[in-house]
Amino acid sequence: MAADPDETADRHVNAAGLLGTLSIGVQLVLTLRFAVTPTPSPANRTSTRWRTRWAWTRSSSACAIYLGTCVATMAEVAVNKSTGRVEVKWVVCAQDGGVIVNPDGSRQQMEGSITMGLGYALTEEVRFKDGKVLDRNFDTYEIPRFSWLPKIETVLVENPEVPASGCGEPPIVNMGAVIANAIYDAVGARLLQLPMTAGRIKEAVRRG
């Protein structure tokens, strides 16, 4: 008998000790951002979805443990089904890295990690042809630009009884998953290859 995906996810989140971090992130998102009525998504799950002027907008989440740090991330994306264009509109990341030594430095590290993750998830790719590297400079190898970065919010989870662990790298782990999950919930297209370019999204939507 197939397991219920939501129950399976809850069981693994609980077992990994991520529930507290994920709960804080979800509470923040629901309180500050999503005062809308949940509707069924193309993935047949109930989550927050609404229609904007040009695309389906959807929020989703991902969580991980890296270097002993628990990280939960939620993102809001807008996807244009006809062009494959995806716009990440908002990212919130809650992180439990034990005792917080430098709050401002920790937030800055998290923001930088999220920004780097957006690059590998959406644009950064080295292409080859006939044994030659095609992308030799930043005119074609596109790194994140301030002009298309989303609003980024970070949450430091107070856990002074646990020694400090990593805080700079952990948030990057979730970025591919959280964006892919949001795209899937928005338009029902599952992306399995990074970066999730407009062409790949458009093809995934076509395949259904």
Residues acting as catalytic residues: 169
Task: List the chain domain ranges.
Answer: 14-207
- Point out the residues of the chain with pLDDT beneath 50: 1-6, 8-9, 12-13, 15-16, 30-32, 34-39, 43-54
pLDDT of residue 134: 94
pTM attached to this predicted model: 0.78
Q: What share of the chain is helix, strand, coil (3-state, %, to 5)?
A: 35, 25, 40
| Residue that has been written with the tokens 């998504």 in this structure | 41
pLDDT of residue 61: 77
User: Phi/psi at 142 (nearest 5 deg)?
Assistant: -90, 115
pLDDT of residue 60: 74
pLDDT of residue 47: 42
Any idea which fold 14-207 has? Aldehyde Oxidoreductase; domain 4 (3.30.365)
pLDDT of residue 159: 84
Structure tokens at 166: 């990593």
HSE, CB side, 13 Å, CA atoms: give it for residue 104.
Answer: 0
| Residue that has been written with the tokens 């630009």 in this structure | 145
pLDDT of residue 25: 55
pLDDT of residue 23: 59
